[in-house]
Amino acid sequence: MIDYIIGKVEHIGEDYLIVENNGIGYKINTSTNSILDSSRTTEAQKLHTNLIVREDGMFLFGFTTSEEMDAFKLLLTVSKVGPKVACGILSALNPGQLQRAILTKDLNALCKGQGVGRKTAERIVLELKDKIAYKAYDDLDIVEAAFNSEYEEAVEALTSLGYSRYEVEKVLRTIETDDMIVEDIIKAGLRKLSF
């Protein structure tokens, strides 16, 4: 119904954005990755959206990239995976990392998503492994590059200290972490988080 919204981000919440378009503020539930992308600019942005209608209300979910929206819609095809769980998964994994986790049956990676237990992770792998191989973003070199285990370990360590994933990722994205070991990423992250 609403395929995308172009507007200025007026407010950033922990798991949502308020985007103003023609004098109307739309609350768009989203992932940590899209929140971080949106926080980089004060200009009007395009968010790909999906309207979910349920008995208790209408909810707008949106993402800064079409790849993330495709991954969201794909996750919704899994039985017992709703929009909140799908967003939780996409807050922990980007589309490339999600694809890699499914193709390699990495249940631990999938369980990083909020609300995802082992049975849900197994169901995701079982129901999506044949579908995901045919998606447009299945270049395994890109997928491998997207999955940086040192970075993910550092994120986990810093969030275990009480920082939100949003705070941690916002800081780590300002640091060149490609050639760093986990301990150095954590130290660099802590230095910036403590200010």
Average pLDDT in the chain? 85
pTM for this entry? 0.72
Q: What is the pLDDT of residues 164-174, one digit of tens each?
A: 777 887 788 78
- Grouping H, G, I as helix, E, B as strand and the rest as coil, residue 45 is strand
Beta bridge pairs of residue 29: 16, 61
Same domain assignment for residues 86 and 135: yes
Residue 158 within a domain: yes
**b/e per residue 153-174 (b: at least 16 CB within 10 A):** ebbebbbeeebebbbbbbbbee
Kindly tell me the burial class for residue 109, based on how many C-beta atoms sit within 10 Å of its own C-beta (0-12, 13-18, 19 or more): buried
Residue 71 within a domain: no
pLDDT at 146: 44
pLDDT at 165: 76
Residue 35 within a domain: yes
Residues 145, 148, 154: CA angle, nearest 5 degrees:
160
Domain of 189, CATH number, reads 1.10.8
Same domain assignment for residues 160 and 173: yes
Residue 88 within a domain: yes
Same domain assignment for residues 131 and 175: no
Closest Cα to residue 13, out of 21, 2, 34, 3?
34
Domain's final residue, options 63, 90, 107: 63
Same domain assignment for residues 54 and 83: no
- Specify the number of domains making up the chain: 3
- Tokens for 151, please give them: 């970075």
Same domain assignment for residues 81 and 135: yes
The predicted model gives 97-119 an average pLDDT of 90
Is residue 77 within a helix (H) or strand (E), and if so which, with residue range?
none
pLDDT grade for 20, boundaries at 50, 70 and 90: very high
The predicted model gives 96-102 an average pLDDT of 88
Same domain assignment for residues 45 and 28: yes
Residue 177 within a domain: yes
Between CA 110 and CA 106 the distance in angstroms is 7
Residue 69 within a domain: no
Same domain assignment for residues 162 and 129: no
Q: Which domain holds residue 38?
A: 4-63
Q: Does residue 70 surpass a pLDDT of 80?
A: yes
pLDDT grade for 191, boundaries at 50, 70 and 90: confident
Same domain assignment for residues 134 and 183: no
Q: Which residue type sits at 149?
A: S
Same domain assignment for residues 91 and 133: yes
Say how many residues make up the chain.
Answer: 195
Same domain assignment for residues 11 and 46: yes
pLDDT at 183: 87
